[in-house]
Amino acid sequence: MTASDLPALNIAELRDLLGRREVSPRAVLEALQSRIAEIDPQIDAYLSIDFDAALEEAARADVTLPLGGVPIAIKDIISVAGQPCTCASKILRNYRAPYDATVVRKLKAAGAIPFGKTNMDEFAMGSSTENSSVKPTRNPWDISRVSGGSSGGSAAAVAADAAFGALGTDTGGSIRQPASLSGVVGFKPSYGRVSRFGLVAFASSFDQAGPLTKTVSDAALLMNAMAGHDPLDSTCLNEAVPDYTANLGRDLRGIRLGLAQEYMIAGVDPKVRAAVDAAVAHFESLGAEIVAVSLPHTEYAVATYYILATAEASANLARFDGVRYGHRAENTRNLFEHYGRTREEGFGPEVKRRIILGTYVLSSGYYEAYYARAQKVRELVRQDFARAFEQVDALVSPTSPVPAFPLGERSVDPLQMYLADIFTIAANLAGICGISLPCGFAQTEDGAQLPIGLQLLGAALDEARILQIAHAYEQSTDWHKKRPPLVANVQRPTRKE
């Protein structure tokens, strides 16, 4: 194997080489560096990279640790000590995090090396990474299209072999949807499974960090390092963390998968529908039982989400005021103007839209009609899932109703963009876990192959089972082995799995 082959490896394969000392952490980083230099100008997945710091960590890396010597890309909303943490916003353009997020600390403790920060929709608000104040990220499968969002940088980097694995955050689908559009695995843990300390908050009762990887078993490896109680996050559950790789490889006999009738909606691309139907049939052939279930409050999920998440965001983003850090407007005459101009200059249109929406739904006179009512609906959505999971082990659906769409196509219509999250958003309302993994391709008129993602949702804290089901599907199909044309020139080594 030559150095240029290294970036095509997944984490498990890379760890195999590192553990046997066939390759050094430094060589891995250098190979990744040249890969990024070659490909990132075409996809714009990264916002900042600190190879010097990463090389220093590589020199100290303990390759006997579970993730020893594995470089990991981090979404730019997660704090890494000493590195920028801009959330792709002008308002934090010059901000560097003075501390590590708990997930970053845990990954480092497992031997991983965070080396760069990935692009995203500003403050994770968006589904295409076009809301980045810096640049949109392009889809490695077709660079005229979006990579999804908000963790679009992380998804594109992994898809283009410009990262072995990456962290994203998922507030309404921000890990699963870009994973789907970019043809990688994206895993959203249950709310409270992974510490939020150090994640710049968008919507505190929805946000969860999770991995974007090339395979399901890589997602399980990263989850082993990331999950667990954190005294610094009161909402982080104090529950034992199982070994998420332990069940991988078990067959699906006795597994019951649910199809929600409410997800059979118009507006789903026929190619997506066909791919998901085929996946369901494939699950049956693997021994799983398919059960029809109902999630009666599904139609309210998007509206409920956009009330509650924006309400929380309006308070969470209040701290960006130019007083202590970040962008500060110049030559303001009074405090009111200081706040107004700093935030006017610092925030992009989508962020402003959501702050205004969130402020409105919490305002005196409107609180009961919007916020309070949405809280009640959230509880109903939670109960829908609780009932469904009494019957089935997981729910199957498309991750996104459509494959990757062209840059600029939806950014003019926020409402169209919000509907891109229709299958993912309810999981965040209910706090359950979910995964997106490749299940097919849609060919465009000009011949591009666009990945299609399959979503599996599981009950809260049932991560191990979801990973097991996803793994069984993945290992009996070839979708995850396909590489985008951008990386076709890279020879992929024979898999060892």
Partner 1 sequence: MFCGCRVEFGAAPNSHTCPTCLGLPGALPVMNHEALRLTVLTGLMLGCDIAPLSKFDRKSYFYPDMPKNYQISQYDLPLCANGSVPLHDLAYPKDAQKKIATPEKEVPLVRIHLEEDVAKSFHLENNTAIDFNRAGTPLMEIVSQPEINSPEEAFAFLTALKQILIYGAVSDADMEKGQLRCDCNISVRPAAQQELGAKIEIKNMNSISAVRRALTYEVERQTEALARGEKLEQETRGWDDGAGKTFLMRTKESAHDYRYFAEPDLVPVKTESLLEEVRARLPELPRAKRARFVEQYGVSVYDAAVLAHDLALAAFFEAAAKGARKPKSVANWILNDLQSALAGAGRAIGDCPISPAALDELVNLIESGKISGKQAKEVFSEMFASGKSAAAIVSEKGIEQLNDPTEIETLCEQVIAANPKPVADFRGGNSASLNFLKGQVLKLSKGKANPALVGEILERQLKT
- Residues marked active site are found at 75, 150, 174
Q: How far is CA 462 from CA 102, 241, 248, 469, 477, in A?
A: 22, 11, 14, 11, 23
Closest to partner 1 by CB, 180 or 195? 195
Binding partner 1 (rule: CB under 8 A), the pick from 27, 51, 294, 325 is 325
Binding partner 1 (rule: CB under 8 A), the pick from 3, 53, 286, 315 is 315
Closest to partner 1 by CB, 300 or 339? 339
Closest to partner 1 by CB, 102 or 182? 102
The structure tokens listed for 483 are 């590489």
Residue 79 sits in the site that holds partner 1 (CB under 8 A): yes
CB of 305 to partner 1, least distance (A): 14
- Cβ-proximal residues to 454 (8 Å cutoff; 6+ apart), any chain: 275, 276, 279, 396, 397, 398, 399, 436, 437, 438, 439, 473
Residue 313 sits in the site that holds partner 1 (CB under 8 A): no
Helix, strand, coil percent values for the chain (each to nearest 5): 40, 15, 40
Q: What is the residue whose two structure tokens read 């995964």?
A: 435
| Nearest residue to 227 via CA among 202, 244, 247 | 244
- Tell me the C-alpha distance between 365 and 429, whole Å: 24
Q: How far is CA 358 from CA 343, 370, 482, in A?
A: 16, 10, 41
User: Binders of partner 1: how many residues, by CB under 8 A?
Assistant: 43
Instruction: Based on DSSP, count helices (H) and strands (E) in the chain, helices before strands.
Output: 15, 13
Binding partner 1 (rule: CB under 8 A), the pick from 45, 199, 417, 450 is 199
Residue 318 sits in the site that holds partner 1 (CB under 8 A): yes
CB of 465 to partner 1, least distance (A): 26
Residue 351 sits in the site that holds partner 1 (CB under 8 A): no
- Tell me the C-alpha distance between 381 and 429, whole Å: 7
- Cβ-proximal residues to 108 (8 Å cutoff; 6+ apart), any chain: 57, 100, 114
Within 97-136, which residues bind partner 1 (CB under 8 A)?
Answer: 97-99, 101
Residue 196 sits in the site that holds partner 1 (CB under 8 A): yes
Nearest 5°: CA angle at 127, between 126 and 130?
Answer: 70
Closest to partner 1 by CB, 201 or 457? 201
Q: Which stretch binds partner 1 (CB under 8 A): 31-39, 192-200, 395-403, 443-451?
A: 192-200
CB of 238 to partner 1, least distance (A): 11
The site for partner 1 (CB under 8 A) is made up of: 78-79, 85, 87, 92, 95, 97-99, 101, 196-201, 203-205, 231-235, 311-312, 314-315, 318-321, 323-325, 335, 339, 359, 362-364, 367, 371
